[in-house]
C-alpha cells in the first residue's frame, strides 16, 4: 500500500493502513514535533517501524 493510500482515520493503522478494532487496546504515539496528533497502530511492530522512520 502506498503512503497516499494509507488512512489517517483512528480506525486504521497509521503505518500499514490495516483496520484497527477500536474496542481493543492498540499502541499509539503522540507527535509533539508538529501540531499535536495521535497516531494509532494495529500492532507494536508497526509503531516501531513508524518511529524509526520519524527519528
Q: With beta carbons less than 8 A apart as the criterion, state whether 29 and 12 touch.
A: no
Which CATH number fits the domain that encloses residue 41? Answer: 2.30.170
Whether residue 1 is predicted with pLDDT greater than 50 in this model: the reply is no
Q: Which domain holds residue 40?
A: 10-54
Structural domain includes residue 14: yes
Structural domain includes residue 2: no
Provide the pLDDT for residue 9: 53
Q: What is the pLDDT of residues 5-54, one digit of tens each?
A: 444 456 899 999 999 887 877 788 877 777 778 888 999 999 999 999 88
Provide the pLDDT for residue 5: 42
Whether residue 2 is predicted with pLDDT greater than 60 in this model: the reply is no
Report which secondary-structure segment, H or E, holds 30: strand 28-31
| Total structural domains within the chain | 1
Provide the pLDDT for residue 3: 44
Structural domain includes residue 23: yes
pTM value > 0.85: no
Structural domain includes residue 5: no
Structural domain includes residue 4: no
Structural domain includes residue 22: yes
Amino acid at each position: 500500500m502506498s503512503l497516499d493510500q494509507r488512512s489517517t482515520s483512528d480506525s486504521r493503522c497509521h503505518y500499514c493502513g490495516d483496520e484497527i478494532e477500536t474496542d481493543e487496546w492498540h499502541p499509539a504515539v503522540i507527535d509533539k514535533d508538529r501540531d499535536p496528533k495521535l497516531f494509532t497502530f494495529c500492532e507494536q511492530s508497526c509503531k516501531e517501524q513508524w518511529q524509526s522512520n520519524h527519528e
